[in-house]
Homo-oligomer: A and B are copies of this chain.
Amino acid sequence: MPVTIKDVARVAGVSITTVSHAFNGHDDVSADTRDRVLQVAKELNYRPSHVARSLVLQQTHNVGLLVSDFNTNPGGHHFLFDVMAGVHDQLAEFGYDMTLLSTTTAMQRLVSYIDFCTERRMEGVIVMGMRMNDPYMREVADAKLPSVGIDLPILSPHCGYVMTDNIQGAMHAVRHLLAKGHQRIGFINGHAEAVVSVDRLHGYQTALREAGLKVDPDLVVHSNFLVQGGEEATTVLLTKAPDVTAIFYASDLMAIGGMRRLLRMGKRVPHDVAVVGYDNIDLGEWVVPALTTVAQRRYDMGKASVDMLMGMLRRQERPRACLLTSEMVVRQST
């Protein structure tokens, strides 16, 4: 039904070879015929088939964005959406398309996501939202398919990653609190299976030691990155260590929950307890008091992952570990 290169050739009175050459700017076609071909193509509204071209060129210009548990990722949009935008835009910059994949749907189709990508002849895949204990982890690591993980620190012959330097980020946050004179600084972390949690804990501890303080295990509580988790963990923390004067939360959502709980307990933020979050979600600016937080460059993470993948694809670069810096956003909660 759609108009093909044959139609153009027939109407323009040339061979399909010539049409192809005219379209792709080869120099063995006279200016006259080139113009005529292009004119005819425009009149017929000809659009070359990406599918046919993919088949003959053996490259699809298509990469997958694999999101773990896309549909059931509570609060995920605060982080994933911007990363996705970065991935998409930068792929477009290179002339690549982005196909969205989810582990859940892959699972229910009963094919590994690698098979899924192979069938579609995807040139690579970017993975995000996955935990270290995810069953798909090994598959990502072992795959021949060029891939880049976001917040998923796997280095293998075909798999690189990009993530925020969470150690540095957490150190920033704790140093900021130390500079404000705090000594008893609580840390409410995300779940331990998240790789970022490990690093943030490490950064928290390092910053304390750096200041000559001892690391008190009672000051650290694990939670789930969400508002309610932040609330509950705050109660736990305050019973274990009632003397904290500052709390560092591993996500803004938990920090918002924490502030809410602190308020309930009659503690004033930042007067009685200072609060720092992590992520810089848009609403952090508008809660009361406005949230001091560590900003991740989400959009840039998406872009960087594409850059790495393109390097692997087009310049045979080896996969790397790419760490992006983060920066403090100081507002009223400290």
Contacts and interface: CB of A to CB of B under 8 A. Distances in A.
Interface residues of A, number: 58
Interface in A53-95: 54-55, 58, 60, 62, 65, 70-71, 74-78, 80-82, 84-86, 88-89, 92-93
Contacts of A109: 92
A81 B77 contact: yes
Among A55, A108, A256, chain B packs the most CB atoms within 10 A around the CB of A55
Interface of A: 1-2, 47-52, 54-55, 58, 60, 62, 65, 70-71, 74-78, 80-82, 84-86, 88-89, 92-93, 97-100, 102, 104-105, 108-109, 115, 118-121, 227, 253, 256-257, 260, 263, 282-283, 285-288, 299
Contacts of A282: 74-75, 227
- Copies held by the complex: 2
Contact of A119 (B50, B100, B227): B50
A120 B50 CA distance: 5
A36 B322 CA distance: 46
B60 A88 contact: no
A282 B257 CA distance: 12
Contacts of A263: 288
Given A49-B119, A71-B89, 7 more contacts: A1-B58, A47-B119, A51-B51, A92-B109, A93-B105, A99-B99, A260-B286
